Structure 1
Amino acid sequence: MLPPTAAAVVDTGVAEAVTSELERCCADFVAHSSSLDPVFAHDVAERLAAFTCQGGSRIRPRFLWWALRACGGTDAHTPGALRVAAALELIQSCALIHDDVMDQSAVRRGKPSFHTQIARQYPQAQAAREPGPSPFSQSAAVLAGDLALSWADDLIAVADLDPPVRARVLRIWRAMRTEMIAGQYLDLHGQTTSSRSAVQAMRTVSLKAARYTVEQPLALGAALAGADDTTTRALTAAGRCAGIAFQLRDDLLGVFGDPALTGKPSGEDIRSGKATYLLALAHTRARASGATAVVDLLQDCRGSAPLSDSALAAVREALHSTGAPAQVERRIERLAKASERHFAAAHLSGPAARRLSELLARVASPPQDRSITTEAAVRGPAR
């Protein structure tokens, strides 16, 4: 049983409170792993604990926490909420580690990705192989992601929740896990089939990002506080719109963003061949306007892992010529306004409701990124 934590204390530092909870929980998990085998504990469990505890914005726990507080959550709800929030961060670790394997991404949060760390620890596994992650490092990372999901489920299983609340939380949790994996599969499917469907891209965005990043954490917070169905529906609708806007913004940053700010190489989505809404929209607009050279360029560069800086600059110019980035920006703005309307329909008031409203607005349309489709941003930072 966790010692009770005053909700007002968590209010002053949600990320710090969740990180402290993660550190306590992960210490227990690592201790158990050490009792099984020291190599497994060192290579996988300790690295997973560090990956989870030392990085991330804690955006999902923030949504959970402020939804809880806005819906009337008190000190009595705090231990259970922190435990569920910690579980959210572990399932996020699972998603990130697996995503990096699927995308063969060497960098995460400005540091070597999990499988890259394993590869550096065991360079002999890479000897005489072609460039790219070794099967050993990728397999180890898959196991680490599975372990993160197991730890997350363990935390949900022991969270101190009243039976009616537990039932609601479990329904949301089970749905969220499947939605996340469905979104990951659709992401892979879009890459493999070179999908140009904007509809499919938006479905992937909804499942892989919007529901999992914003909508379901809000639903969990509302469930933990015992919110009624009307309030919960309004909150989750607001979260769905904000979450889609968030991922569309992330897609723009993936092509036009500064790696120093994003923590990932610019153009990663192009190199990995991701079927993003931005690319699908650009293809549609280029075909409609008869810009065959743009269509061919986007098709040829997509999935080109060794894409050079000059080729990436050409892709940026091509995207800009279709008007797709500007149209994505307009859709983000519409989604942000829709999120505001849905949130207003929840009829929540007080400091926590204001914090939640501000958080939704920042996620839906962060002001520091509004210039991303300007001429300078499209051409990228000077090199």
Structure 2
Amino acid sequence: MHADADIPTEIQRALTEFLDVQQTRLAEIGPELTEVVQAARDATSGGKRLRPSFCYWGFRAAGGDPREPILTAAASLEMLHVSALVHDDVMDSSDVRRGAPAAHKRFEALQRARSEASGLGADPVGFGLGAAILLGDLCLIWADEMLHTSGFDAAALAAASKFFDAVRVEVTAGQYLDLVAQASGESDMDRALRVLRFKAATYTIERPLHIGAALGGGGQHLVDSLSAYGLPLGEAFQLRDDLLGVFGDPTVTGKPAGDDLREGKRTVLIAYAVDHASEVQLAEFDRLFGRPDLGDDEIQLLREILQDSRAVQACEDLITERTEDALDALDRAPIEDEAARKALADLAVAATSRKL
């Protein structure tokens, strides 16, 4: 692969080729599994491809040769991401992902159509949830297989596996912290920051950089330098994502407007608002936040509370601060490939400047 290849296109190619093999493999088990592979194909189409991009440029930062199969390896992170999204949508009861039905709703519709056609069959809702969990499990397994069959030698894969194992543990632990936060019914800034770090910052940017650097033969000094860039940038990325989850345009985010407010996401944005809202605002907030039946007027009222409490401005200030910290660390990083340094600077802007 040439150094200036289109990363999203190459990632899609690797995913398509891998799923072609899996379709043949699963067809031998049973034709019913075709719909599972098709769901995986649709789920791995589109998206920002941030994790593979950071992996690729971490590899280049380490002096990796772009003729190596780095983007095939990087595509494993997109498969891991799909696994996390499928499970996340089940846990959050989210109906929509990237503008299409979430996996559990997709399988529910398939089963409902079969039941209506035959007059028999299992509960569509239960089937949809079970099938989505299995799809997420399969994508998690496939992510590991994609990395280990990518074509790198055993030494490079052993070095990368340490970080690949770490990211899978960390994102799962972060997801559990998120569940605990929502179940508690309380907003706590320290907990929100921990969720931010382990569910998003390490998972989206830091560990993909580490995996790429390890595949490229990078040493500990580079790994540490990439952490100094990746962690604050990952936090800024998630803070922007949290703002989009409340104020974003559904045609851009692929999810209904205000969905995070209906789901009761205990983010840094929410924790700041709870700490700084007036008693009257807090009473209104507690009455509405986390209700799945919120209407447009109620969503707007919650948005106004977030604005008036200066929670939105506080998150914008944190995004600016964390991004500046990341770019300062990037300037100091021992990266000889200036194309990699520029690409990482451009990715910092792309990850944090998405419009509301």
Question: TM-score, normalization: structure 2?
Answer: 0.94
Q: 2:7 touches 2:71 (CA, 8 Å); kept in 1?
A: no
State yes or no: 1:354 paired with 2:342. yes
Local SS of the residue matching 1:331:
helix
Q: 1:60 touches 1:214 (CA, 8 Å); kept in 2?
A: yes
Local SS of the residue matching 2:341:
helix
Q: How does 1:357-368 map to 2 (within 5 A)?
A: 357-363=345-351, 365-366=352-353, 368=354
> Aligned partners of 2:62 and 2:202: how far apart in 1?
19
Instruction: Output the amino acid matched with 1:138.
Output: L
Q: 1:66 touches 1:221 (CA, 8 Å); kept in 2?
A: yes
Render the CA deviation track for 1:235-292: whole Å, top value 9, x for unaligned.
Answer: 1221111110010111111111111111111111110111111001100112xxxx11
* Alignment gaps of 5+ in structure 2: 117-122
Q: How does 1:294-309 map to 2 (within 5 A)?
A: 294-309=281-296
> Aligned partners of 2:198 and 2:91: how far apart in 1?
17
The one of 10, 15, 25 aligned to 1:17:
10
> Aligned partners of 2:63 and 2:49: how far apart in 1?
21
Partner of 1:280: 271
Partner of 1:7: 2
> Aligned partners of 1:29 and 1:313: how far apart in 2?
45
Instruction: Output the amino acid matched with 2:325.
Output: A
Q: In the TM superposition, what is the alpha-carbon distance from 1:126 to its structure 2 partner?
A: 9.2
Q: How does 1:166-315 map to 2 (within 5 A)?
A: 166-286=157-277, 291-315=278-302
> Aligned partners of 1:65 and 1:189: how far apart in 2?
34
Local SS of the residue matching 2:294:
coil
Instruction: Output the amino acid matched with 1:157.
Output: H
State yes or no: 1:42 paired with 2:29. no
> Aligned partners of 1:347 and 1:360: how far apart in 2?
18
Q: 1:248 touches 1:328 (CA, 8 Å); kept in 2?
A: yes
Q: In the TM superposition, what is the alpha-carbon distance from 1:342 to its structure 2 partner?
A: 1.1
Q: 2:74 touches 2:147 (CA, 8 Å); kept in 1?
A: no
Local SS of the residue matching 1:22:
helix
> Aligned partners of 1:126 and 1:66: how far apart in 2?
48
Render the CA deviation track for 1:43-71: whole Å, top value 9, x for unaligned.
Answer: 2122112321x221211111111221232
Q: How does 1:88-99 map to 2 (within 5 A)?
A: 88-99=77-88
Q: How does 1:5-84 map to 2 (within 5 A)?
A: 6-8=1-3, 11-39=4-32, 41-52=33-44, 54-76=45-67, 78-79=68-69, 81-84=70-73
Q: In the TM superposition, what is the alpha-carbon distance from 1:225 to its structure 2 partner?
A: 1.0
Instruction: Output the amino acid matched with 2:304.
Output: E
Local SS of the residue matching 2:167:
helix
| Alpha-carbon RMSD | 1.8
Partner of 2:76: 87
Q: In the TM superposition, what is the alpha-carbon distance from 1:82 to its structure 2 partner?
A: 2.2
Render the CA deviation track for 1:36-95: whole Å, top value 9, x for unaligned.
Answer: 0111x222122112321x22121111111122123211145x21x223212111111101
* Alignment gaps of 5+ in structure 1: 1-5, 373-383
> Aligned partners of 2:199 and 2:341: how far apart in 1?
26
> Aligned partners of 2:290 and 2:124: how far apart in 1?
17
